[in-house]
Amino acid sequence: MPAGETILVVDDEKVIRDGCSRILAPEGYRVVTAIHGQEALEVMAREAVNVLLCDLKMPVMGALEVLEAVGAQYRDVPVIIITGHGTVESAVECMRKGAYEFITKPFRADHLILMVERALEKQTLQRQARQFQEERARHLYDLTMEQSRIRTMVNFMADGVLVTNRDLEVVLHNPALVRLLQLPPHLADLGALSHYVKDEALFRALEELAAKGGAETEAISQELCIGKTHLRALSAPVYGPDREVLGTVTVFHDVTHFKERDEMKSNFVRLVSHELRAPLAAIQQQHSVILDGLAGGLTDKQRELLGRGREKIQGLLDLINDLLDVARIESGHAVQQQVPLQLEAILAGTVRLMRAKAQVQGIALKLQLPPELPMVLADVRAMEEVFTNLINNAINYSPDGGEVTVSAVSHGDYLEVNVSDTGIGIEPEEIPKIFEQFYRVKHPKTRHVIGSGLGLPIVKGIVEAHRGSVTVESVPDRGSTFKVVLPTIADQSDT
């Protein structure tokens, strides 16, 4: 049933007006009437009308004039012409002026109802079509504005942007990319990736992303050098709604300044450390000569003061050595020469070297190794430094009467070495920080421990340079276990 749509019947004959009302009102329509066109326009100005039934010939204003006025002001209202004097010429003229239908008197009730229903359907469809058109136009406008904003942002980014489709055709790039990759200034907006990217590794990475994609959070980070410019390229796949790979996007960031700054810092550390180490070593040697009595006798107080001075000098030398190690790690020279190595000798030698210090502090230093360990590919000096640091830390952070155990176990493709102690342990919130440079665990029982906070960062850098990892498990007041994992030679066939 209609939802109370308003039908306006315009006819100078009362019988027609009343007849239309008797036919349409029972169908649920609200019927209003007018005796000529001028009165009909006045009614439409006061209230909303859904369909107009209009006689062709009327005094004051006929249907043709009504059609012109309705077409100009009420384009959504369909007009059905009703007349007893219908001709082909009249019908054509009415249709030309916008009439929806033309019916002649006398008309059947069911025919009139059908015409009204069809007119209302047309009105609904017209409104829906107009809404769709308006929404489409609004969406197109929003899309155009969004594209314009994105292109403006991309064009003014300092980082280079390169977007490809799944066929590795470049569909978007910005001026920064042209500058960073040193490309021709008027490169086409659409072109093969090979015209833009000359780095083979990056090209293969983008091919793989376009072919297979990856996790939504997955990105490939690479560094490339173009002339004197160092770039970091971060690439990721672009997905559609159905998780199909649509292409790739790569952002190029200029890291030349950071590379130069790191190199300057490393050079400065090496220069200062070298200039400091030689005179400090000479002063330490002179202290040793005096303490050994080669320059004459000493009082107990003099010997005590000189001994403290020598300890401080040794601390400075250790700090300088640590700074040099950090500089080497950051410059990528943590590993000098990797050779097939069995760690039994390294671990046994380090334990033997550290046993005297452990005994002074009343700590039991134990070595527990299986009969045979698999070989690893490693730098001898670097491995000695790793386990010297870990065992020294375990001794320093264990109370008198504690225990430090060095053990190892083979897992086939990797070797695990554990350095465990029964010391003060590490609070859970401090564990993520202990591998940061210059960070030291604060504890009342370790105030006497002298250190730079560089030992564990050096350990981490060396182990990772050997394609390994170092982790720690600790319980406060019960002790800690540092676990070093290194790949065995059998697992390094691609090295």
Closest CA to 51 of 38, 35, 70: 70
> What would the pLDDT profile of 313-337 be if each residue is shown by its tens digit?
877 777 777 666 666 666 655 556 7
Tell me the C-alpha distance between 354 and 387, whole Å: 10
Q: Which one, of 178, 199, 258, 250, lies nearest residue 220 by Cα? A: 250
Is the domain spanning 6-130 CATH 1.10.10.10? The answer is no
Per the model's pLDDT, the better-predicted residue between 452 and 247 turns out to be 247
Element spanning 51, H or E: strand 51-55
Two tokens at 441? Answer: 């665990």
**The two three-digit tokens of residue 97, written as one number:** 């002026």
State the greatest distance between any 2 C-alpha atoms of the chain, in Å, as a whole number: 145
CA 133 to chain centre: 37
The answer to whether the CB of 354 falls within 8 A of the CB of 391 is yes
Please check whether residue 253 is in contact with residue 234, taking contact to mean a CB–CB distance below 8 angstroms: yes
Residue 108 near residue 23 (C-beta atoms within 8 A): no
Q: Is residue 297 predicted with pLDDT exceeding 90? A: no
The helix (H) or strand (E) run that includes residue 484 is strand 479-487
Please state the rounded mean pLDDT for residues 267-294: 75
Dihedral sign (CA 343, 344, 350, 353): negative
For 342-367, what is the mean pLDDT? 89
**Residues whose CB is less than 8 angstroms from the CB of residue 197 and which lie 6 or more positions away in sequence, other chains included:** 162, 181, 203, 206
SS3 sequence of 252-305: EEECHHHHHHHHHHHHHHHHHHHHHHHHHHHHHHHHHHHHCCCCCCCCHHHHHH
What's the distance, Cα to Cα, between the start and end of the chain in Å?
82
Using the 8-state DSSP alphabet, how is residue 28 labeled?
Answer: T
What's the CA gap between 36 and 63, in Å, rounded? 9
Top pLDDT among 295 and 373 is at 373
* pLDDT average, residue stretch 230-251: 86
What is the total residue count of the chain? 495
Least confident of 227-231, 264-268, 345-349, 489-493: 489-493
Question: What pLDDT is stored for residue 387 in this prediction?
Answer: 92
- Give the start-to-end residue ranges of the domains of the chain: 6-130, 157-254, 259-330, 339-491
Nearest CA-CA partner of 219 in 205, 198, 204: 205
Predicted TM-score (pTM) of this structure: 0.46
- Specify whether the CB–CB gap between 276 and 320 falls below 8 A: yes
CATH number of 339-491: 3.30.565.10
Tell me which residue of 142, 186, 461, 235 sits closest to 333, measured CA to CA.
Answer: 461
3-state helix/strand/coil string of 95-137: HHCCCCEEEECCCCHHHHHHHHHHHHHHHHHHHHHHHHHHHHH
- The CA distance from 54 to 80, in Å, is 6
Question: Position of tokens 């400090």?
Answer: 280
380-412 tens-digit pLDDT: 888 888 999 899 888 888 877 789 999 999 888
Locate 317 and state its tokens: 């030398």
Mean pLDDT (the chain) is 82
Nearest partner of 449 among 353, 359, 357, 320, judged by Cα: 357
- DSSP class of 362: T
DSSP symbol at 242: T
The whole-angstrom separation of Cα 289 and Cα 298 is 12
492 has pLDDT over 60: no
Gap between the Cα atoms of 426 and 433, Å rounded: 11
Whether the CB-CB separation of 438 and 452 falls below 8 Å is answered with yes
Does position 164 have pLDDT exceeding 80, yes or no?
A: yes
The H or E element containing residue 421 is strand 414-421
Tokens of 360: 């002074």
In CATH, 157-254 is 3.30.450.20: yes
Q: Which pLDDT tens digit goes with each residue over 431-481?
A: 888 887 766 666 555 555 555 667 788 888 888 888 899 999 988 888 899
pLDDT at 33: 92
